[in-house]
Amino acid sequence: MKNDGFIKVAAITSDVHLNDIDSNVNDIVSKAKEANEMGAKIITFQELALTGYSLQDMFAQSNTLEKAKEGLIEITNKTKDLDLLMVVSLPYSFKGKIYDAAAVISKGKILGIATKKYLPNYNEFYDARYFTPSFDENEVTEIDGNLIPIGPKLLFHCREIENLTIGIEICEDLWTPDTPSTHHAMNGATLILNPSASNEMVGKENYRKSLICATSARLICAYLYAGAGEGETSQDVVYSAPLIIAENGNLLGEKNDFNNHIMVKDIDVDLLAFRRRQMTTYSYKQEKGYQTIDFSLTDSYSKSLDRIFVKSPYLDISSKNLEDNLNTIFNCQSHGLMKRIQATHCKTVIIGVSGGLDSALALLVAYKAFKDLNKDVKDIIAISMPCFATTARTRNNSKILAETLGVTFKEIDISNTVKSHLKDIDHPLDLYDAAYENAQARARTYVLMDESNYKSGIVIGTGDLSEIALGWATYNGDQMSMYNVNASVPKTVVKEVVRMVANNERESNPLLSKTLIDILDTPITPELVPSKSKNEISQITEDIIGPYILHDFFLYHFLRNGYQPLKILRIAIIAFKDMFNEETIKNWLKLFYRRFFASQFKRSAAPDGVKVGSVSLSQRGDLRIPSDLLSVDFLKDLK
């Protein structure tokens, strides 16, 4: 199958036997084969894995240097049948000097040798005693009759994966102000490999991890780090075998338990390329002297993904920072509204409350904004507008919520207004079509707009990001307002913000908490088609347009990550394997694309609303597309 951007990589700490290179060779070969059997296509061992990092003055011995080169040739020959690229670090003698180097090997060939630029010579480090800093420009060396490029400006590009280009820096290079990885990335590298031998001490683990994650974020790259471990000397320091894999600021995996391991994860180089395309300030720099060497992988498709895909990518519900993130969202919403209130000098805000999640959150946001502005919450006017399909549960919750908050509550039954309007256009009252439903939504907007004029206020929109993406709103009905506080909050996040408020108010305002919890437990419904009983909900939104948890997942990976349809389908199957089968996911994904593109005309006329997360559909900012785009090209692969 064609590679979809995922590539399996491995960080490895091999066993080291000081002054026993043959044993080191055997362990490197053994672990390379093991990692390849696990699916890894790109692997790196720790710094000076071929000899050990702690040989000290023995690096200068001709015996050590010759056996290291012989060991490199042996590793190259013994791994020629492996479908991978691997990095093995060794001391390398070149033009009378010794360099801390990393050989890049693939399918029986040494492709190049990267050289360490920065040699630490402080505290416990004495690298400059044994090695020479890298020369500035690439040169050529001979190994086993083959001419091999050597130097600091080598990149390795996979022919089968357009966005996979590899650069190498070694240990201390990462800790410097002008890192080689910066230059590699600016010349096209999407994956940085770092064979390292950083000793362990208190506080260093977290610093090292933070540094690697920050580097991967700054460079928009993946970063593969393998540190020295078991077998190195403990004469003055100890090595803990740290393994770290990061991608664009995210920690994909880590090990640091003083045991030598193989750690395998999937990185996504297409995602990195997409992020770089989006970021107009990310500039490529064609530095003089850089050399790109191609390599091939016979099978580049990662069949099983060693990667976690959360069901709610906007907000990891399992995160320890969940409440902080929810508070940030809530504060962004309320501060956006505060600014709009101050700018318009409005006396009131008008909110249509339905007893559902979105209007509940909008009301909570308005309440917080008024409190922070020291304004009387009685100037928040919450209007319930029951009609043909309104149930007692939602009607009661609207009233209780408003009264508990102490805002002004009004109930205006719009049944007669809608009947009169339908009669005016000769529409049967028992024909439950789009006109029947939309007439109710527009009647509600009509009431809200006129009330705002009458009370010198502004109408607060309640529609969330998920509904806006799917076009699940009546054009010039609930699609329209004067300021929408929920515009960039997906439905799955709306739930969590409301849940947070409910939990926080459990003791201080138990009735408010209880009401919010009941709203959370109420099925999501537009309540536009009447049922036989006033207490029965006849329309369940997610039965009509699909589960919001799926659509929010689709939307995030479509816009935030730029994933293609089949890639979204693939990861959705993994993420929701305990909830939906493949056919169900595919059907809702098709509907998502159809509705998303067909609904752009509604978004093109959408009101203002503050951005609170990484995905927004504002036609003035994050998403500028014409209203007459088709979904054809996005549906072809899903047939």
- Which residues have CB under 8 Å from 535's CB, separation 6+? 391, 392, 393
User: Which helix (H) or strand (E) covers residue 26, if one does?
Assistant: helix 21-37
Tokens of 230: 């078991």
Q: Which of 41, 47, 74, 602 is catalytic?
A: 47
Give the pair of three-digit tokens for residue 30. 């053994």
Task: Answer yes or no: are the C-beta atoms of 43 and 14 closer than 8 Å.
Answer: no
194 phi/psi in degrees, rounded to 5: -130, 100
Both structure tokens of 115: 């050289």
C-alpha triplet 461, 469, 577: angle, nearest 5°? 125
Which DSSP string corresponds to 487-509? Answer: TT--HHHHHHHHHHHHHHTTTT-
Check: CB of residue 286 under 8 Å from CB of residue 186: no
The per-residue DSSP string of 460-486 comes to: EE---HHHHHHT-S-TTTTT--SEETT
Number of Cβ atoms within 10 Å of the Cβ of 322: 14
Give the active site residue among 67, 116, 399, 586: 116
397 contacts 515 by C-beta, under 8 angstroms? yes
- How far is the C-alpha of 110 from the C-alpha of 98, rounded, in Å? 19
Distance, in Å, from the CA atom of 83 to the CA atom of 108, rounded to the nearest integer, reads 10
What is the helix (H) or strand (E) element at residue 254, kind and residue range? Answer: strand 250-255
Is 387 assigned a catalytic role? no
Q: What is the CA radius of gyration of the chain?
A: 31
What DSSP string runs through 300-345? ---SS--S---S-TTS-TT-TTHHHHHHHHHHHHHHHHHHHHHHHT
Cα 8 to Cα 265: distance, rounded to the nearest angstrom: 6
Task: Give yes or no for a contact between 368 and 336, defined as CB atoms under 8 angstroms apart.
Answer: no
Nearest CA-CA partner of 35 in 20, 64, 63, 14:
14
Alpha-carbon gap, residue 52 to 30, rounded angstroms: 17
Q: How far is CA 165 from the centre of its chain?
A: 21
Given the residues 31, 117, 171, 399, select the one marked as catalytic. Answer: 171
β partners of residue 436:
none
Q: What sign for the dihedral angle of Cα 73, 77, 78, 84?
A: positive
Residues in the chain: 639
Asked if 47 is an active-site residue, the reply is yes
Active site residue ranges: 47, 116, 171
